[in-house]
Chains A and B, each alone.
Chain A
Amino acid sequence: MTSSAAPNPLFPSLRVERNPDGQSVVKVSGAWNLRSIQPVARTLRQQLTGHAPGAQWDLSAVSRLDHAGAMMLWHAWGKQRTGHLQLRSEHEIFFAHLEAGPTLADKYGKRVERRRSLWVPGRAVVTLGEHIMQVLILLGKVSLAFMEAVRHPSRMPWREISANVYRTGAQALGITALVGFLIGVVLSYLSAQQLKAYGAGIFIVNLLGISVVRELGPVLAAILVAGRSGSAMTAQLGVMRVTEEIDAMSVMGIPYTLRLVLPRIIALAISLPLIVLWTNAIALVGGMVAARYELDISLTYFITELPDAVPVANLWLGLGKGMAFGTLIALLACHFGLRIEPNTESLGVGTTNSVVAAITIVIIVDAVFAILFSSVGVP
């Protein structure tokens, strides 16, 4: 605005002139605020370097200045006030700030370096141990809360249990039906190809019946529910922890294990076996339909033959597994939810870990069941 030499009064610029004594004077002009300098910061930086330390600086043509502009000049002067400096009085304050800032002298270190030790596997084992310990403690607390609730049935959180059964069970019917039906169709279709080769088509009933009722139904339902309800539980508890709702509850004398953890575990222990039953039924329907078209086995034959081919112990085993899986999924989901720290990253990591751990534990426990009950339900 005052500078008549600069073509655009708002454009930050500098040029070197010689004063009558033959000394070089760096004339800085234009607006040196962040908004004006940021588009041309690279060029300005180049222009600013390489001036003799003794050069005079004339900032009187600077129309606007802010901390960013002052800082840029400050850097050009080697982070100190240059000896020969002319500037407007109202701009003095910015350099006063910079001079007063001893905190700028030393470099702010990078984030505290996490020590990369060689003992990463060792630390993983320790972490696993911690998790197991905490899960056991949580299980103990929940068991105590359960005993308490059994002794005083009025304290049992019935409403929460029923809400959770609805959320984890009734609302999961659609997705489990879809997945169950398609798995039934695929399994039946692929088995039929092989069985036809041996002329053993009618054994499709045994094959499908045992594999779905004993193994696939429970595991499939558990994996779907772990992804669907386990993650939701972790996120819910995590957010409640972040917003201090859990602390508020404890302060009121309501144990969170009784009101938050117990109903989720009980609800999933009730709803997962029911979901397993539902998934079994739909998967068998899918299998039946595929067998009807691929092997010409009528639906009536399939249904009448099923009880002979599959001992009923398999069904109980499947439902028992469902109950165990449900308890474990809810317990792990709550455990991870209660560990969440008040930041968004932790919420993401916690939810991921919860689902991964739940699915892994479901498969491990399934293997244990397979070994323990290897002689049960096999004709």
Chain B
Amino acid sequence: MDATEAATGCIIEIRHLWTQFGEQVVHRDLNLCVHRGEVMSLVGGSGSGKSTLLREMLGLEHPSRGEVRVFGVSLRDGDPAELHGIRNRWGMLFQEGALFSALSVFENVALPLRELKTLDEELIHDLVMLKLDMVGIERGHAAKMPSSLSGGMVKRIALARALSLEPELLFLDEPTAGLDPDRSESFCSLIADLRRELGLTVVMVTHDLDTIVSISDRVAVLADQKIAALGTVAEVAAVPHPFIENFFQGERGKRALEGLKSPAAVSASGQQER
């Protein structure tokens, strides 16, 4: 663990972050800390800047002011070699998968491993097959091209690719959007399993209440250009704020939170599925 990370205890640390597009202020003096080993959900209305914040955590965009540190390295003025190093320590699942359309499923997952240039082909082959197996893709699909697969399969393969470098930190953008309920449930338990086995830290942007309730340790609500509430699902749901009331106290919200009333049952069943 890096010295700065150890000092603050945050795997991702956002300090006094401002994001502005012209006149429009998206984030105003936003602070957030993601602890090692937790699953953090980012929720917020459309246009509240969730995806922008995620992109800023990945260094794809830079904030107008303020600082983002991941693994204790500042994404803006960190040492280029260090920045390169942390890119091998995180994985990102894009909303549409972002698989390389010119490469087969196998090649897609193998690409980050091949880029290391030190592993032999046999090890890469078996690792790729193991990852595909973990996300529930049958080997018959390995030679297919992404364009011939369904959206749910693309998402699972993209997850396998995000996991291929054995990351410590995993970013998920709407991981269960577009999956049927059964698939999204198994996706959640897959994430929960992986997290238990590998000690993953997960940051996800999602709208799906069931996903939030079933796997997240903490929820950060983005509203009014800042983090309006931060805490466990039950804590956040109790915060009096118009967006939160809408989000958690609607019909669907109530149904999802219903499960929280008997927390023991939920966590037990959530952990033991599969």
Contact = CB atoms under 8 A, between A and B. Distances in A.
Interface stretch (B32-40, B128-136, B256-264): B128-136
B150 interface: no
Nearest to A341: B147
A109 B134 contact: no
A5 interface: no
A67 B166 contact: yes
A108 interface: yes
Contacts of B3: none
Interface of A is mostly: helix
B222 interface: no
A267 to B, nearest CB: 31
Interface in B129-169: 129-131, 133-134, 138-139, 142-143, 145-147, 165-166
Interface stretch (A20-28, A92-100, A219-227, A310-318): A92-100
A42 B129 contact: no
A146 to B, nearest CB: 33
Contact of A343 (B88, B130, B131, B147): B147
A101 B133 CA distance: 8
B127 A71 contact: yes
Interface residues of A, number: 32
Interface string B104-127: 101000000000101110110111
Contacts of B119: 38, 41, 68
Contacts of B139: 103, 108
A75 B102 CA distance: 31
Contacts of B138: 103
**Residue with the highest number of chain B CB atoms closer than 10 Å, among A34, A35, A111:** A34
B203 to A, nearest CB: 19
B241 interface: no
B130 A104 contact: yes
Given A66-B198, A93-B197, A344 B143 contact: no
B65 interface: no
A157 B46 CA distance: 35
Contacts of B133: 97, 101, 103-104
B143 A111 contact: yes
With most chain B CB atoms within 10 A of its CB, the pick from A39, A45, A107, A111 is A111
Nearest to B137: A103
Contacts of B118: 38-39, 41-42
Contact of A75 (B100, B123, B129, B198): B123
A35 B102 contact: no
B88 A35 contact: yes
A33 interface: yes
A343 B146 contact: yes
Contacts of A341: 147
Contacts of B106: 108
Interface in B231-274: none
A144 B123 CA distance: 58
B20 interface: no
A112 interface: yes
A342 interface: yes
Contacts of A109: 143
Contacts of B100: 344
Contacts of B64: none
A100 to B, nearest CB: 8
B4 interface: no
A104 B123 CA distance: 11
Interface in B56-98: 88-89
B8 interface: no
A72 interface: yes
Contacts of B126: 71, 74-75, 104
B59 to A, nearest CB: 19
Given A42-B118, A72-B123, A97-B130, 8 more contacts: A41-B118, A68-B123, A68-B127, A68-B166, A104-B126, A108-B106, A108-B143, A343-B147
| Smallest CB-CB A-B distances: 8 pairs | A343-B101, A345-B102, A41-B118, A34-B166, A66-B166, A342-B147, A38-B116, A344-B101
Interface of A: 33-35, 38-39, 41-42, 45, 66-68, 71-72, 74-75, 93-94, 97-98, 101, 103-104, 107-109, 111-112, 341-345
18 contacts: A34-B165, A38-B116, A45-B120, A66-B166, A66-B198, A67-B127, A67-B131, A68-B127, A71-B123, A75-B122, A93-B197, A103-B133, A104-B129, A104-B130, A108-B139, A108-B142, A341-B147, A343-B102
